[in-house]
Chains A and B, each alone.
Chain A
Amino acid sequence: MLAALNGLSHTLDAYLILAGLLFAIGSFGFLARRNAISMLMSIELMLNAVNLAIIAFGAFTPGLNVDASVIALIVIGAAAAEATIGLAIVIAIYRNKKTPLVDEYDAMRQ
C-alpha cells in the first residue's frame, strides 16, 4: 500500500487534491463558525488553497511556469488588502455591538 505513495510529490494530482482539501476546510469554517475573525481566517485558508493550485499548475506546465508565480504574488498582495479591510470592518462593528459573534449582528432584521 505504501508503494502507491512512491513519486507522489512528482504528480500534479497530489497538489490539486491537497488544494481542494484546504479549500473545503476553509469553506466549512466560513459557513460554520460564529466568530467573525474565525470566518476571516477561513477566507485566508481558501485564498491559500487557490494559490497552491495556481503554483501547482505552474510547476507542471512549461508555458505557465513563470506566469503562475507572478499571478500567485499578485493574489498574495490582494489577499493582504482584503485582510486589512476585513479586520478593520470587524473592529468597527465590534466597537458598536460589543460582540464578535456574527449571529448577533441582526440590526437589519428589525
Chain B
Amino acid sequence: MTLPETIPLLGFAWDDLLFIILAAIMVGSALLVVTMRDIIRCGLAMIICFAALAGLYVFAGAPAVAAAQVLVYIGAISVLVLFAIMLTQTKAGPASLVFQTQAIPAAIAATVLALLVAVTVVATDWGETATRIWTDTTKLAGTLFADFTLPFEVVSVLLLAAVIGGVFIAKREPGGSD
C-alpha cells in the first residue's frame, strides 16, 4: 500500500504537514521553557525544543548539523543545565515568583521583535532558489577540514579553555566554609 500524494481532506503534501508539526512542537516547548514555574520541567521542555529543532535541520537539508545538534545540545548541554539546576535549587525556589517586574514590557518588546522580523522577512526578496538544497556531507567534511581548518582548531582550543576555566571557577576553595 502506498500513501497518496497529498493528505486526504486537508489537501497539502506530507512534508508540509511534518514541517508544521515540528514547528509547532518547537515553538510550544520554547514557550513552556520561558513560562513554566518548575525549573526542572523547563529543562526537560528545552530538550524537546532542541529535538524538534534537529528535525527541522534535517528538513532544511543539513543532516550533519542535525546529528551535531543531538549530540551536543541534547547529549551534553541539556545534561549540564539539568545538573546545574539540581545543584542550585532551593526549597523556596518553586514557591517564589517566576518573573521579574519588567515581565510585561519584556513580553511587549518580544512580540514587537517577532512581528518586525516577520514583516522584514516577508517584504525582502532574498534571491532564494525554489527548492531546498541537500547538503552533501562528504563535501561538508572537505570544506570543514580544508578551508575552515583554522576556525575548527580555534574552536577546539576555545572548548579546552572553557573546560579548564569552568572547573577552576566552580571548584570549592580548599579553606572555604563549605
Beyond the given A24-B110, A85-B165, could you list 19 further A-B residue pairs with CB under 8 A, ordered by the A residue number? A5-B20, A6-B16, A12-B128, A15-B60, A18-B23, A23-B113, A23-B117, A25-B33, A33-B100, A34-B100, A44-B46, A48-B49, A61-B126, A62-B133, A70-B151, A85-B166, A87-B84, A88-B165, A100-B89
**Size range of the chain B interface in the assembly:** 35 or more
Q: Judging by beta carbons under 8 Å apart, are B135 and A65 in contact?
A: yes
Indicate whether A32 reaches chain B with its CB closer than 8 angstroms: yes
Report if A48-B117 is in contact (Cβ < 8 Å); known contacts: A6-B16, A79-B77: no
* Chain A residues closer than 8 Å to B131, beta-carbon distance: 10
Q: Are A56 and B60 in contact (CB under 8 A)?
A: yes
Q: Is the CB of A80 within 8 A of B27?
A: no
State the A residues within 8 Å of B (CB).
Answer: 2-3, 5-10, 12-29, 31-38, 40-42, 44-45, 48, 51-52, 55-62, 65-70, 72-74, 76-85, 87-92, 94-95, 98-101, 103
Per DSSP, chain B at the interface is helix
State in angstroms the CA–CA spacing of A87 and B33 once bound together: 17
Residues of B within 8 A of A29 (CB): 33-34
In the complex, what residue of chain A is closest to B169 when comparing beta carbons?
Answer: A88
Q: Are B102 and A5 in contact (CB under 8 A)?
A: no
- Determine if B33 and A5 form an interchain contact, defined as CB atoms under 8 angstroms apart: no
The total of Cβ contacts below 8 Å across the A-B interface reads 279
Q: Please determine whether A48 and B15 come into contact, CB atoms closer than 8 angstroms.
A: no
A28 vs B147: C-alpha distance when bound (angstroms)? 37
B residues in contact (CB < 8 Å) with A: 10-13, 15-16, 18-20, 23, 26-27, 30-31, 33-34, 39, 42-43, 46, 49-50, 53, 56-57, 59-62, 64-65, 68-69, 72-73, 76-77, 80-81, 84-85, 87-90, 93, 96-100, 102-103, 106-107, 109-111, 113-114, 117-118, 121-122, 126-133, 135-136, 139-140, 143-144, 147-148, 151-152, 155-156, 158-159, 161-163, 165-167, 169-170, 172, 176, 178
CB distance from B162 to the nearest CB of A (A): 4
Nearest residue (CB) in A for B159 is: A81
B114 lies within 8 A of A59 (CB): no
